[in-house]
């Protein structure tokens, strides 16, 4: 079994890019699109919002928010994911894609009203560094909105979720993508990644003044909101 280090994780996404969207729909029973839409409820107030979507992959998070922002840039290291995103969102001229590392963002301080990252933060090599970068590129009053897999707090639901993560998800992902190792790796990272209060603490350490965690679907996913003062 070859599980990539987080250093090379984006290369694994190049390998699963052609089936990535379809596997997401099947694995979440179509709910991932609803979760991405929910992020829109927490956008900062105001008009003409500018959005940076970190680890954008095929751009689904920007697609979900496209009618709520006036411009959006998605960055990712996996060229094949970006290629699919560009083709998919070609009809939305206010959305663009760039190659970029979210641990070292290529934008000046205070550029964006909002920075999102969906199902991406747990894959980066330097989580505190990536959070500091999101904070840095936000304008004062801007918001970071982070969607990530988490562990349900109810023990029975957690048990069921672990069964799903460990046994069903790698099989479904493996069958559809022909890359079982990739999906085995992905759920292992969900189990071990800090969630809830622990993740909010990481966000505050990175500079966010207020942080809140909003559990979704029994806490199997959490939306984190961080404010920049």
Ligand X SMILES: C[S@@+](CC[C@H](N)C(=O)[O-])C[C@H]1O[C@@H](n2cnc3c(N)ncnc32)[C@H](O)[C@@H]1O
Which residues are near ligand X by CB under 6 A?
Answer: 9-10, 13, 55-57, 60-61, 75-78, 81, 101-103, 118-120, 123-124
Taking the alpha carbons at both ends of the chain, their separation in whole angstroms is 45
Q: Nearest distance from residue 17's CB to ligand X, in Å?
A: 8
Q: Nearest distance from residue 78's CB to ligand X, in Å?
A: 3
Q: Nearest distance from residue 23's CB to ligand X, in Å?
A: 10
User: Nearer Cβ to ligand X, position 26 or 103?
Assistant: 103
The token pair at 57 is 């992959």
Q: Nearest distance from residue 156's CB to ligand X, in Å?
A: 27
Q: Nearest distance from residue 203's CB to ligand X, in Å?
A: 17
User: Nearer Cβ to ligand X, position 102 or 144?
Assistant: 102
DSSP secondary structure letters along 131-198: HHHHHHHEEEEEEEEEEEE---SSHHHHHHHHHIIIIIHHHHHHHHHS-HHHHHHHHHHHHHS--THH
Residue nearest to ligand X (CB): 57
User: Nearer Cβ to ligand X, position 90 or 156?
Assistant: 90
User: Nearer Cβ to ligand X, position 34 or 159?
Assistant: 34
Q: Nearest distance from residue 46's CB to ligand X, in Å?
A: 24
Radius of gyration for the chain, computed over Cα atoms and rounded to the nearest angstrom: 17
The greatest distance separating any two alpha carbons of the chain, rounded to the nearest whole angstrom, comes to 49
Q: What's the half-sphere exposure (Cβ side, CA atoms, 13 Å) at 157?
A: 11
- Which residue in 109, 76, 65, 117 sits closest to 225, CA to CA? 117
User: Nearer Cβ to ligand X, position 56 or 177?
Assistant: 56
- Cα of 46 vs its chain's centroid, Å: 23
**Whether 171 contacts 180, CB under 8 Å:** yes
User: Nearer Cβ to ligand X, position 138 or 145?
Assistant: 145
Neighbours of 140 (CB within 10 A): 8
């Amino acid at each position: 079994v070859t599980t990539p280090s987080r250093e090379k994780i984006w290369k694994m996404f190049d390998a699963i890019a052609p089936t990535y969207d379809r596997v997401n729909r099947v694995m979440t029973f179509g709910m991932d699109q609803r979760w991405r839409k929910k992020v829109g409820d927490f956008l900062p107030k105001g008009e003409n919002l500018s959005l940076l979507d970190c680890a954008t992959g095929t751009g689904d998070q920007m697609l979900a928010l496209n009618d709520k922002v006036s411009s959006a840039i998605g960055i990712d290291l996996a060229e094949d994911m970006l290629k699919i995103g560009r083709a998919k969102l070609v009809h939305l001229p206010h959305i663009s894609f760039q190659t970029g590392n979210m641990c070292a963002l290529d934008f000046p301080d205070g550029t964006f009203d909002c920075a999102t990252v969906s199902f991406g933060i747990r894959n980066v090599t330097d989580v505190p560094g990536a959070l500091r970068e999101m904070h840095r590129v936000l304008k004062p009053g801007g918001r970071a909105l982070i969607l990530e897999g988490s562990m349900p707090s109810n023990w029975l639901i957690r048990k069921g979720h672990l069964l799903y993560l460990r046994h069903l998800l790698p099989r479904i992902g493996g069958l559809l993508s022909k890359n079982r190792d990739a999906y085995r790796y992905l759920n292992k990272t969900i189990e071990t990644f800090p969630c809830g209060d622990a993740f909010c603490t990481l966000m505050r350490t990175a500079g966010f003044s207020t942080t809140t965690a909003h559990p979704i679907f029994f806490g199997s996913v959490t939306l984190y909101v961080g404010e920049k003062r």
